[in-house]
Structures are given as structure tokens and as C-alpha cells.
Amino acid sequence: MTLYIGREASKLWKRFCSETTTEINLLLDNWKYLLAGLIFQYIHGLAARGVHYLHRPGSTLQDLGFYILPELGQDKAYISETVFTFVFLSFVLWTFHPFIFKSKKIYTVLVWCRVLAFLVASQALRIITFYSTQLPGPNYHCREGSKLARLPKPHSALEVFLINFPRGVIYGCGDLIFSSHMIFTLVFVLTYQKYGTKSCIKHFAWLVATVQSLLIVASRKHYTVDVVVAWYTVSLVVFFIDKKLPELPDRSSGNLPMLLPLSTKDKDGKSKEENHKPLNGNSVDPADWRPRTQVNGKIQEDANGIHDNAMNGA
């Protein structure tokens, strides 16, 4: 038993080291994209903090979801946060599974490049929408009479740029129209839907996303329209950006791909070259690209060429 555990531990360590080397090479090539995505997460938080200064509390708007779903209450607001934390941590752990498991389909670095691209595009649209129209927040701390509903004027720019994390993010107001939690949840679910391997987990992920949507409305953290807009907008963003990005490589091939696709000119040139390449893989001189005819199953040179050779021989 001890020998078996030692052998498996040795295999696991070798697999971890091999995967680490591969991912480091990918990270050296794509660190700019990851860094840009992480920086935009701060910009998104800063924008949400800024719109809180513009927020003016008022009466809660009429909402169909508020009539249908029972109100959970302020003391049960943690339920939706717990579900979101579960989704977030589960997805992060899944993206790092190639370091441990032998069966793998993704590269961690390349998956996070795609995920951050989806998040940046969705969050950029979210920033545009909640700065275009400010609505009175339905959350308890955003209602009239709450000390957190309005933010006093900042004493310095540093106070704004620090965004009071994480309290300033949890108790924000005014960043409506989109639900930030649903952006993350849907991006994670759609990514696993494409690159995950367990169909039961895919079905469970969609169920959790649906439950998360209902909990957000029941907790009065967002209006129903915020959740509905997130569902179809994030899906469209992921669809169109995924079409523009190159497909992730098959791990069985062992090739490390480029993150960005080839240009149309490069693709056309490569296709022409491949069309003129024989089966043995050797390149062909363009001067030898002569038409050939097929007679009785045999390929012969052009008749003019044969005639010229015969005259020279005579």
C-alpha cells in the first residue's frame, strides 16, 4: 500500500511539474492579456464606486419579480452571496484541474484569457448603461433613510481610487441595469458548457445560474430587468467574442497555439502553399506546377511538354 501511494505521488508530482512548465510558457506569451483583464476589474469597481456618488435614493420601482417572488429579508441576503461564492470558487478550481488530473481538455492560461475577454466586454457595456441612467436602488442599504444610500463628497481623489474594498463593493448603489454577479455566473457557466466534460455538471451549472437569478431578485439586490438583461447580453457577448478568438487547441496534439488568429492574408498564403504541397511534405518549385492529364489511371505530363521532349531527342 505504501509503495502504491509513493508511486502515485511521484506520478502526480511529475504531472504537476510538467503542467507548470507548459503553463509558464503560455503565461510568458499571454501575460499582457491577463494583466489587462485584471486591471479592468479594478476599473469596473472604480466605475461602480463613482456612480454611487451620483445615486439618489427614492421609491422602489414597480417590478414583476418583486410581486411574484417572496422577499427574503435583509437577514437572509447572505444566501445569494453564498451561492455566488460557490460558483466562483468551483470555476476557479476547475480551471486549475490540469495541474492534477491526467484527463484534461484545457490550458489554464488560455481559458482565463478568454474568460477575462468575456468579462471585460460585458462589464464595459454595464458601465455604459449605469452611467447613462441612474435608478434608485432596490437594496435595503440603498433606500431612503439609510446612511449608505448617499455617499458624501470625497475629501481627496485617493478616497475614490481606493474604492473602500470590499465594503464599498458589497454596499454599492446605483450600478443597476446589469447584474455584476450574473455576468460572472453566466460567463463561468457558458465557458464550462463549451470546455467542460461532465454533462451532469453542465446541467447542474445551469440550474445554479437560474437559482442565483431568482435569489438576486428575491433579495432585492437588483430589479428583474437587471437579471434579464444580463442573461441575453452576456450570452450574445460570449457568442460573438468566442467567434473572433481562435479555438483552444486539443490537448492530445501537444501543440502550443497562438492566442490571436492569423490575418486573412496569412491564411490565404498558407492555404495556397498547402494546396501545392505534395503528400511527402516537400515544397515544390513553382516552375514545376504544370498541368497533368490522367490516362488509364496514370498521370502524364502535358502533351506539349512530351512533344517538345520527343523533338529534342530526335
Which position among 226, 250, 266, 307 bears the catalytic label?
Answer: 226
- Residue written as grid cell 460558483: 87
> At 299, is the secondary structure helix, strand, or coil?
strand
Question: Could you confirm whether 75 is annotated as catalytic?
Answer: no
Which position among 181, 250, 266, 308 bears the catalytic label?
Answer: 181
Q: Which helix (H) or strand (E) holds 117?
A: helix 108-132
Grid cell listed for 264 = 486573412
Question: Could you confirm whether 55 is annotated as catalytic?
Answer: no
**CA-based nearest residue to 108, from 35, 42, 27, 188:** 27
Which position among 222, 266, 307, 308 bears the catalytic label?
Answer: 222
Grid cell listed for 280 = 511527402
Angle between helices 199-218 and 224-244 (to 10 degrees): 140
Question: Could you confirm whether 181 is annotated as catalytic?
Answer: yes
**CA-based nearest residue to 239, from 186, 196, 185, 197:** 186
Q: What is the DSSP letter of 164?
A: T
Angle between helices 108-132 and 2-54 (to 10 degrees): 20
Catalytic positions, please? 181, 222, 226
